Structure 1
Amino acid sequence: MTLPEQIVTAQGTAAGLTAHLRVLATTDLHAHLLPYDYYTDKRDSSVGLAQLGELVAAARAASQNILLLDNGDTLQGAPLADAAVAEIVPAGRLHPMIAAMNALGFDAATLGNHDFDFGLGHLKASLKGAKFPVVSANVDSTDGTPFVPKRCILTRQVTDSLGGVQSLKIGITGAVPPQVAMWNKPHLHGLMTFTDIVSAVRAEVAALRSEGADIVLVLAHSGYGSLNAGPGAENVALQVAQIEGVDGVVAGHTHKLRAEPTKPGAPIVQPGAFGSHLGCIDLVIGQADTDKGWSVRQTQATNFATTQRRALGAIPVRRMLNDYPKLRFAVAREHDATRSFVARPLGATAVPLETFFSVIAPCAATQVIADAQWEAARPLIAANRALNGLPVLSAVAPFKAGGRSGPRSYTDVPVGPLRLRHAADLYLYPNMLSVLRVTGQGVRDWLERSASLFHQIHTDRDAPQQLIDHEFAPYNFDRLAGLRYQIDVSRPARTNAEGDVVHDTPGRIHALTLADGTPLAPDDEVAVITNSYRSAGGGHMRAAQAAEEAIVAQFSVRDAVARYISDSDGPIRPIVEPTFSFSPLGGVDVVFETGSEALKHPGRAAELGLAALQATTTPDAFQPFAMHL
């Protein structure tokens, strides 16, 4: 990995003594260690820390002054994480991600919100084996003690522009969205407190500077956000970059890919998710006067795609692992253990369970989740007097349906045997089952947030318009099984894609009734089965957050799905409810984009009135279909 030309130039021309520090960063790895998709049991060259390790090795071969950092959401997400919870960590072995990070020589890391998903016991056991500091400025136990150190200073020897060796003190702090207290309430309530990111980081940056840090870097497990976001906001990386004394920021959490100089302010890099990219911040630091210490002269932020690794001089994973014999053995062992873990049989399905069309019509994949939630919640609701007699709805969303996760992110389970990996594919997160008491108005507001997935379609335009806003995360597209309603996409959306901006619009939801045709009035009440993330307002679902939480189960929705499949008498045959449809717009042409593998389901496309446009030539591009509204 050669240095960018402007950085090389800066090193040669800056007045006084200079040095080049290359900060490499990963974020949102979500337990993707190897280039492998355990859901389909096939190799996937687009993901994996191991492939980023190739880039790290190439960078170290090209530059002497390298720092390697991780920005959180590392220990949860892929089946490897589930196997680690169930079998690997309890057996006393290192979490596979921690073992790999130790071997690759990570210098420091922070925590992400999903790192708390399996509870504090598992998180503490996993971090215990880390040979690098893990810091967070805004996470404390309720007794006031920091959960992990709030900051650290790394002393590194760097080679300067004259070939000499200089001692550099690098301050590191990090932070996680304070909303994790709500999202993981079943695990964290009464045990942990989470404070505002910006104020917590500001305090730690000042402390690092007073302790002699020459350079200060912030691992902000937070999206870019805006400069106007108020205290306690979820996405504030832009604000963090403006804090005096910050020299570089690694952003994350929203899985986006960005790299910007952010002037005025510190450079920011956000390297996607799952190991798709390696973030890089190049800093040219200068020392015009040895008594005044180092200062940043020039910066550049870049993302290197894992697909670039050969062009950048990286060696293949297998050859790289030869230099880490213990890691190679551990990786092979845990890889085999994970494949065996997720291969456990559950049952069978008589119909395909795919999510290629889930955002434009109810589907079998989400119906299985709805049915499993109904079955699991039935005895709990029967025992709860406050819910007796209320209509019961089941809120479900397609976790893998494109959006900002890209055109590869879809579920596609064929007819036949169902294994544990298929249940995990249908329901990615270990969210606990929850039941809310919601008003009719709350239900309407809930659906309006979901309906923000669609672009506004203008009926007076001749050219086909794009229907789907790919900035919207599909796991926030809830449909409430047990209802019937129409979505009018000719009207403006109630929120932006993130849900953090609410617009005053007339609304898109029409003809809202219960399944039996009874209109749902604003003052009516229903019971809604959902998950702990949504009940806490996750996805900016304010209606869910404002509702009364009547039940918090002691089991996850994913466990309920697995149990539903295994308890079924023969192959499952979900009867898909016609929950929602689009309001007719008189034959307006739109373009619906989905994953390219949707072409393998022509019957489903024809059933929905879709006509495939020119076939995409790469799985990294969305496949367009013509659609009439």
Structure 2
Amino acid sequence: MRRSSLVLALLAGSLLAGVANAQTAKLRIMETSDLHTNLVNYDYYKDAEAHDFGFSKTATVIRQTRAEVQNSLLIDCGDLLQGTPLADYVAKVKGLKEGEVHPMYAAMNALGYDVASFGNHEFNYGLPFIENAVKGAKFPYSAANIFKGSTQEHWSRPYVMLERTFKDDTGADQKMKIAVISAVPPQIMQWDKGHLEGKLNTTDIIDAVEKMVPVVRQAGADLVIVAAHTGIGIPDTKKGDMAENVGYALTLLPGIDVVLTGHQHLSFPGGFKDLPNTDATRGLVNGKPVSMPGFWGSHLGVIDIQLAKKDGKWTVADAASTLRPISKRDENRKIVPLVENDAEVMAMAKQIHEETLKYIRAPFGKIEAPIFSYFSLVQDDPSVQIVSDAQIWYAKKALKGTKYESLPILSAAAPFKAGGRGGANYYTDVAAGEIAIKNANDLYLYPNTLQIVTMNGAGVREWLEMSVGIFNKIDATKTEPQNVIDNGFPSFNFDVIDGVTYEVDLTQARRYDNDGKLVAADARRIKNLSFGGKPIDDKQEFVVVTNNYRASGGGKFPGVDGKNVILQSPDENRQVLIDYISEKKTVNPSADKNWSFAKVGKPVTIVFDSSATAEKYLGNIKGSSKIGDGENGFVRYGLKLD
């Protein structure tokens, strides 16, 4: 053998020996997020068992997934304690006594969670509730961007340092420090202003997390995980934007190894395929593993990491992210369960579940017509109408004897259950006859409180222009069907304002973007806006009944920023609805058709997705028809415009 060949062979052998002797280990990170108190697989609004959500199902997947490996962590990314009648029953009816463990925490304690992040909905019931509830968690929380009062003193610890002993690939014990940094959307100060103003303040997520990374590294962190209640967002999000969804931006920060997200109720890997530098198959964004596990326990996020020790420090050598679902759809789009309920979780939930069933089934009035939301994004809708009727009824009483008594009362309400990210079964459908609390929860999903603002006619017009940003622009020259709904626009920001009449011109560009920025100053979609049968007077003063989320700036509607609030009611909008029906005993929820699409000059077909069940109500919409199957269990419908 020539000398040069011998040297190369010796070097190669040395390198192989080095790799063989290198310390390596595998770590599995499991994530849940946006469980929204779906403790068991039960749809309390339909009063029926479900197979596509429920922590009782996710728990089974957790146990199976954990059993496959030696080393694992289990992390929750927030929006845990609000979202179902069970949540409302615990927080508002039964109450949570000092020292009592919340049912969700009892179940999660049994599953052995390691750490969790707060979500924005954790604050819906007020600060005392969450501060009391979290005492029952046998795992730590952190929040890097929430501070006490007007200070910079953290309300919760800014990060959690987990010290664990894991098995390496040879079976030897290895001690590791894993830092978990969490954060919430800074908008909690708007969305729950009534609960949090003067008590907390928030800062930009990216800035807060970036400041913590060198702190945890200096404290000896071998691995840095960001587990934040934030969506993946868009690439051009920058530090200081106070943005809601910043997962993508977090992957660009040096020193972060893993990013766990939620909030958007979407899935990754699988979704977000068009993002730059993203491998939506392996679940990598800018080379870093990212997870977003759907919602309500529909999936478990799983990130598998290969760790290597170099110069005494553990580093990520390779990683991949996957999702493990609890159900699937068969060839007939029927939901098929993939796992059984976890027996321990079901046993722990039995009593509170039965108490919740009794609570939701109590009738309190009658409705003369069915209430459904299948078409709530394309026509005036009974599920929105009844909320507005109740809000106006309340406002008349509340403003009596005040200086605002003589002002015209309008009501802004939006469809909450309108498919979208909630899935193909996420609609309201209440039959005529007796109505129970379960139906009221169905009609008004969130524990918002009623608020009233003042607004002139011009402001009402701009409010509506922002609202109709949900629609895509339609080309009147095209003969093929055109999709009318922008799925990136949340239905809860599609406010219908009752008390005025108006038309929506789909041939116009949207005037505002999703962040309330004026993007087309000459565009006007709202046509023939009238009050009392006459064109609205831009200077006329109105009062508009809405909720605390919108009144305090939620959704970034122009002119609605909390400065023009004249009444902050302690009553929840949902309770207002219950009280309204209780007093009237019998109500007719049929929509008054105060808005419609403007004529476009020639026949045009717009298409939208809804539930398969919507077909039974097609006769309620003139010119509508079923077109075919959509994606993810939805059905596509068409609507002809002249």
| Aligned match for 2:301, one of 279, 284, 291 | 279
CA contact (8 A) 2:423 2:632 kept: no
1:506 and 2:527 aligned: no
Residue in structure 1 matching 2:592, options 577, 581, 597: 577
The answer to which of 508-517 and 522-531 deviates more is 508-517
Name the amino acid aligned to 2:48: K
Deviates more, 1:374-383 or 1:132-141: 374-383
Unaligned runs of 5+ in 2: 1-17, 270-279, 331-335
**Are the structure 2 counterparts of residues 211 and 353 from structure 1 closer, same or farther at C-alpha, using a change threshold of 3 Å?**
same
Say if 1:444 and 1:509, in contact at 8 Å, map to a contact too: no
Match of 1:40 in 2: 46
Letter in 2 for 1:197: I
TM-score w.r.t. structure 1 length?
Answer: 0.91
Tell me how far apart the structure 1 counterparts of residues 517 and 58 of structure 2 sit (CA, whole Å): 35
Matches within 5 A, 1:76-225: 76-85=82-91, 86-87=93-94, 89-90=96-97, 93-142=100-149, 144-225=152-233
In the alignment, is residue 72 of structure 1 matched against residue 78 of structure 2?
yes
Instruction: Name the counterpart of 1:590.
Output: 606
Structure 1 vs Structure 2 CA RMSD: 2.4
Shift of 1:257: 1.5
Residue type at the aligned position of 2:290: I
Give the distance between the partners of 2:62 and 2:468, measured in 1 at CA. 42
In 1, Cα distance between equivalents of 2:232 and 2:346:
36
Shift of 1:309: 13
Runs (5+) with no aligned partner, structure 1: 1-11
**Partner deviation per Cα, 1:289-322 (whole Å, 9 max, x = no partner):** 3x2x101111212222221699x998521xx32x
Q: Is the 8 A contact 2:509 2:520 kept in 1?
A: no
Query: Which among 404, 408, 429 is matched to residue 412 of structure 1?
Result: 429
Question: 1:415-430 alignment to 2 at 5 Å?
Answer: 415-430=432-447
- 1:60 corresponds in structure 2 to 66
Kept in 1, the 8 Å contact 2:231–2:263? The answer is: yes
Q: Does 1:562 align with 2:578?
A: yes
| Correspondence for 2:260 | 250
- Aligned residue in 2 for 1:338: 356
Deviation at 1:237?
A: 1.5
Check if 1:455 corresponds to 2:468.
no
> Which residue of structure 2 lines up, in the alignment, with residue 3 of structure 1?
none
Structure 2 Cα separation of the partners of residues 514 and 491 of structure 1: 19
Partner of 1:627: 640
Task: Show CA shifts across 1:412-436 (max 9, x none).
Answer: 0011111111111000111111111
d(CA) in 1 for partners of 2:632 and 2:209? 40
Q: CA offset at residue 109 of structure 1?
A: 0.3
The residue type paired with residue 159 of structure 2 is: R
How many angstroms does 1:147 deviate by? 2.4
> Relative to 1, partners in 2 of residues 1:44 and 1:389: Cα closer, same or farther, differing over 3 Å?
same
Q: Are the aligned partners of 1:485 and 1:509 in contact in 2 as well (CA < 8 Å)? A: no
Mapped partners of 1:515, 1:409: distance in 2: 33
- 2:535 counterpart SS class: coil
Q: What's the CA shift string for 1:110-133, capped at 9, x where partnerless?
A: 101110000111111211110000
| Residues 542-553 of structure 1: pairs in structure 2 closer than 5 A | 542-545=558-561, 548-553=564-569
Contact 1:35 1:47 in 2 (8 A): yes
Answer yes or no: is the 8 Å Cα contact 2:456–2:539 preserved in 1. Answer: yes
Inter-CA distance 576–158: structure 2 relative to 1 (3 Å threshold): same
> CA offsets, 1:357-405, max 9 Å, x none?
11111122211100110111112223432x3432211001111011222
- Tell me if 1:364 matches 2:397: no
CA distance in 2, matches of 1:494, 1:102: 49
Cα offset, 1:144, TM superposition:
4.8
CA distance in 1, matches of 2:320, 2:617: 45
Moved more, 84-93 or 277-286: 84-93
AA paired with 2:66?
A: R
Q: Partner of 1:349 in structure 2?
A: 367
1:521-532 correspondence runs (5 A): 521-532=537-548
Instruction: State the 4+ residue runs in structure 1 displaced beyond 4 angstroms.
Output: 12-15, 260-263, 312-315
The reply on whether 1:316 has 2:340 as its aligned counterpart is yes
Is the contact between residue 433 and residue 555 of structure 1 (CA under 8 Å) also seen in structure 2? yes
Cα distance in 1, alignment partners of residues 68 and 97 from structure 2: 40
Instruction: Return 47-56 or 230-239, whichever deviates more.
Output: 230-239
CA distance in 1: counterparts of 2:593 and 2:82, whole angstroms = 34
SS at match of 2:351: helix
1:50 paired to 2:56: yes
SS in 2 for 1:239: helix
Asked if the contact 2:618/2:625 (under 8 Å) is kept, the reply is: no
> Quick one: distance in 1 between partners of 2:180 and 2:589?
51
1:296 aligns to 2:316 (yes or no): yes
In the TM superposition, residue 510 of structure 1 has moved relative to its aligned partner by 3.3
C-alpha distance in structure 1 between counterparts of 2:103 and 2:578, whole Å? 25
> C-alpha distance in 2, partners of 1:315/1:480?
44
Shift of 1:541: 2.1
The residue aligned with 2:483 is 466
Local SS of the residue matching 2:534: coil
In 1, are the aligned partners of 2:461 and 2:526 still within 8 Å (CA)? no
- What is aligned with 1:375? 393
- Answer whether contact 2:629 2:635 (CA < 8 A) is retained: no
Aligned equivalents of 2:20, 2:620: Cα separation in 1 = 62
Please tell me whether residue 613 in structure 1 is matched to residue 627 in structure 2. Answer: yes
* Preserved CA contact (<8 Å) 1:493 1:505: no
1:238 counterpart letter in structure 2: Y
Does the 8 A contact of 2:516 with 2:557 survive in 1?
no
| Cα distance between partner residues in 1 of 2:250 and 2:20 | 27
Question: Does structure 1 conserve the Cα–Cα contact (< 8 Å) formed by 2:369 and 2:590?
Answer: no
Tell me, yes or no, if the aligned pair for 1:88 and 1:94 is still in contact at 8 Å. Answer: no
1: CA distance, partners of 2:284 / 2:294: 18
| Deviation for aligned residue 1:91 | 8.2
Match of 2:327 in 1: 307
1:543 deviates by 3.0
**Secondary structure of 1:613's match?**
strand
Alignment partner of 2:587: what SS?
Answer: coil
Are the structure 2 counterparts of residues 306 and 315 from structure 1 closer, same or farther at C-alpha, using a change threshold of 3 Å? closer
Partner of 1:389: 406
Measure the CA separation in 2 of the matches of 1:124 and 1:302: 33
Which residue of structure 1 lines up, in the alignment, with residue 3 of structure 2? none
CA distance in 2, matches of 1:384, 1:276: 49
Larger Rg: 2
Deviation per CA, 1:170-193: give whole Å up to 9, x if none: 101100111101110111111111
Contact 1:446 1:542 in 2 (8 A): yes
